[in-house]
Amino acid sequence: MTTDKIKNQIERYVKEYQENSGTFEGFRVIFDFVGLLKSEPYVQKIMGEIFERAESQKQVMLKMKETKELDKYDTSKMVVDMKDPLGSSVPLFTQENESWQNKIKNQEDLNFYILLPIYLLDLIIIYDLMAKAKDNVKTNNHEEANRLAQIAKEESFSLAPFTIKDEKGDSKNVSVSTASFHLECMALIGKYILDNINAEDFLTSNKPRSAVSFDKNKSLLYILGQEIKITRKGDKPNDHYILEAIFDQEDLTEEVYFKDIAKRYLGMDDYDKTKDWAIFRHACDRLNAKVAKAVDNAKDNFIVYSIGNAGWCKINQKYL
């Protein structure tokens, strides 16, 4: 997978988790996200040591669970001292805790990179739970698979209660949703990977950026030096999702099928291939009209498409 494709996938997974935060579907997104991290050689190259550290601490945690030592660190019984926010009394990630404490002590800037193995382990734990459930389905152990799925459903939006002691020694009880922490873990792991890709691209590439690009967060199409606003109001039109689907592909010359856009981007599980393609034909026509209006020297239609049961669309080769 190219680095551009990796970037698109990571951005999509973080966005999908935001939309499904606190649900079982959110755990499925985390499962896919970690699966991507584990399977991509580029990611393994830049995160190899982080993975090794997270996996080593997972083994420590499993040993503590086996010996019941982990039970005494139940969050409801834990006190987080603001002078020791990571809880150095817990025998996990002691190196990271020590580095963090030294930075606080020396009044140095705090860098979240120190904590990446902690964030990664949180996601790996969820990945392992979901993977184990799927493995039990494969071996027809449906009772165990359902039990694990039930755990995932309950944990997907649980609350972690604990006590915070401030610098004056005063204490107060608080609860934090695990869903918000999972999102933070995904976002920061994703940022680390994207920063590496972007820095490498900046330092090694002498080529100008593509003449055609799409910023899906701002819904802006950049083409032949022009900026075209696709989303005019709060709701994103089908025009936007057509562009998002096209630019999520590794190869911009390839077509994307209307049925795939309908299911993956619009949530149309009941897509009717005999007639619903008309929705996307009209959206393609609107896109072409927007480009023709914005670009003086427009070269024919920006989007070419085919209608019918196997309808598809793609960028006109003349613009690439």
Tell me the pLDDT tens digit for each residue of 196-236: 998 988 887 665 556 688 988 889 998 876 788 998 766 78
Same domain membership, residue 109 and residue 233: no
Q: Between these two residues, 97 and 287, which has the higher pLDDT value?
A: 287
199 lies in the same domain as 216: no
More confident residue, 312 or 68: 312
How many structural domains are present in the chain?
2
What distances in angstroms separate CA 135 from CA 34, 129, 153, 187, one per listed residue?
Answer: 16, 10, 18, 28
Does residue 262 surpass a pLDDT of 60?
yes
Helices (H), 106-237: 116-138, 142-155, 178-204
- Which has more pLDDT, 155 or 83? 155
Going by pLDDT thresholds of 50, 70 and 90, the confidence category of residue 45 is very high
- How far are the Cα atoms of 2, 23, 103, 194, 311 from residue 258, in angstroms, in the given order? 24, 28, 53, 29, 6
Hey, what are 34's tokens? 């970690």
User: Does 171 lie in the same domain as 54?
Assistant: yes
- 197 shares its domain with 258: no
Structure tokens at 246: 């096209």
Domain that holds residue 230: 212-319
Mean pLDDT value across residues 177-195: 92
Q: Are residues 23 and 99 in the same domain?
A: yes
Residue 210, pLDDT score = 63
Q: Are residues 44 and 184 in the same domain?
A: yes
The verdict on 191 and 75 lying in the same domain is yes
Q: pLDDT: is 89 or 278 the higher one?
A: 278
* 81: β partners: 84, 165
Per-residue pLDDT at 163: 61
Say yes or no: 52 and 144 in one domain.
yes
pLDDT exceeds cutoff 90 at 310 = yes
Chain centre distance of CA 202: 23
Given a cut of 80, whether residue 29 has pLDDT beyond it is yes
- 113 lies in the same domain as 193: yes
Region of 68 (left: φ > 0; alpha: ψ -120 to 50; beta: rest) is: left
Q: How far apart are CA 227 and CA 290, in angstroms?
A: 11
User: Does residue 7 surpass a pLDDT of 70?
Assistant: yes
Instruction: Give the N- to C-terminal CA distance of the chain in Å, as an integer.
Output: 21
Q: Which two tokens stand for residue 71?
A: 């039970």
Decide the pairing of beta strands 212-215 and 79-81: unpaired
Same domain, residue pair 304 and 230: yes
- Give the residue from 179, 203, 227 where a domain finishes: 203
Residue 293, pLDDT score: 86
State which of 77-86, 95-104, 164-173 shows the largest mean pLDDT: 95-104
Tell me, yes or no, whether 164 and 37 share the same domain: yes
Residue 259 pLDDT: 95
Partner residues linked to 176 by β-bridges? 160
Global pTM reads: 0.62
Contacts of 252 (CB under 8 A, 6+ apart): 212, 246, 314, 315, 320
pLDDT value at 298 more than 90: no
In the predicted model, is pLDDT for residue 69 greater than 80?
no
Q: Are 213 and 222 in contact (CB under 8 A)?
A: yes
The DSSP secondary-structure symbol of 51 reads H
Same domain flag for 186 and 249: no
**Domain end marker among 203, 222, 240:** 203
Q: Domain end: 182, 203, 224, which one?
A: 203
Mean pLDDT for the chain overall: 84
For the stretch 129-180, pLDDT in tens is 999 999 999 999 999 999 999 999 888 888 766 566 666 667 777 667 888 8
Q: What is the pLDDT of residue 16?
A: 92
* Residues paired with 314 in a beta bridge: 304
